[in-house]
A = this chain, B = another copy of it.
Amino acid sequence: MQLIDGKAINLQMQAEILQQVEEMVKNGQKRPNLAVIQVGDDGASTTYVNSKIKTCHAVGFESTDVRFPADITEAELLAKIAEINADPNVDGLIVQLPLPKHISENKVIEAIDYRKDVDGFHPINTGRMAMSLPAFLPATPAGIMELLARYNIETEGKECVVLGRSNIVGTPISLLMSRKSNPGNATVTICHSRSKNLKEICRRADILIVAIGKPEFVTADMIKPGAVVIDVGIHRLPSTETQSGFKLKGDVKFDEVAPLCSYITPVPGGVGPMTIISLLKNTLLAGQHKIYE
């Protein structure tokens, strides 16, 4: 069994991106600039936003940090998005989700210029991805594809089972894994809350991608020996083993599943670090005009 080290790949990619940025600067181009909008001061969101901005600077990007109080109107937020859309200095724009209930997330996502949509959430990017056209890929699925590629994990003709059909992970990763590409070209089954015989279906999987949002849902009896297991879940569970009284767990019962696998992502340190770095990769591509002119 080999651990897939997302943290190491993250650092490797940071170095690669930094190198490309330095080359851009040497050629007289401007540094990529990522704008991050946060509404309200939810603790988890603040942690994510700060981490994104910090990593931006680590790879030589500029950042544009916009914070609004939770009671900003939808119209004010949309006006700010329009302003950043029009700002040639900004290459990528993300709005940290979730948003307060009085603001429509779909409206906000669709208001972002798809050419700056480095989260890959705009319908144009989703649609172009489904059609195998160049697009900003959503960060977590793109990060999973990167892990499979860098560990040279064969996907062609393999049975891939995806647990979960969310717009940000399950559905897009099923599209990426089934399309004609490498990694990709897998036979993909997408499962969800209405699926039956989940154990049996999971046991067919050469590659099992779990994004179901239930702590330690996947157990040893759901694993085909030798499978590759990618765990997207992250949950903070009470624990007597740690000083903090908490321990991070994934959607997979790691201790019993890991011995059966050929490869598995740990939690933390597997998929998690790939999400931020994929966002930065998209921002680099935006700054280089490699997806759209």
Please report A residues at the B interface, Cβ cutoff 8 Å: 106, 122-133, 156-157, 165, 167, 171-172, 174-175, 178-180, 185-192, 194-196, 201
Contact = CB atoms under 8 A, between A and B. Distances in A.
Contacts of A187: 189-192, 194-196, 201
Contacts of A156: 194
Contacts of A167: 130-132
B178 A190 contact: yes
A165 B124 CA distance: 19
Contact of A122 (B126, B127, B129, B186): B127
Nearest to A126: B127
A190 B129 CA distance: 16
Given A126-B130, A157-B196, A171-B179, 12 more contacts: A123-B123, A123-B124, A123-B126, A123-B127, A126-B126, A130-B171, A131-B167, A157-B194, A157-B195, A165-B178, A178-B192, A180-B192
A222 to B, nearest CB: 14
Contacts of A171: 130-131, 175, 178-179
A186 to B, nearest CB: 8
A189 B191 CA distance: 9
A193 to B, nearest CB: 8
A51 to B, nearest CB: 26
Contacts of A201: 187
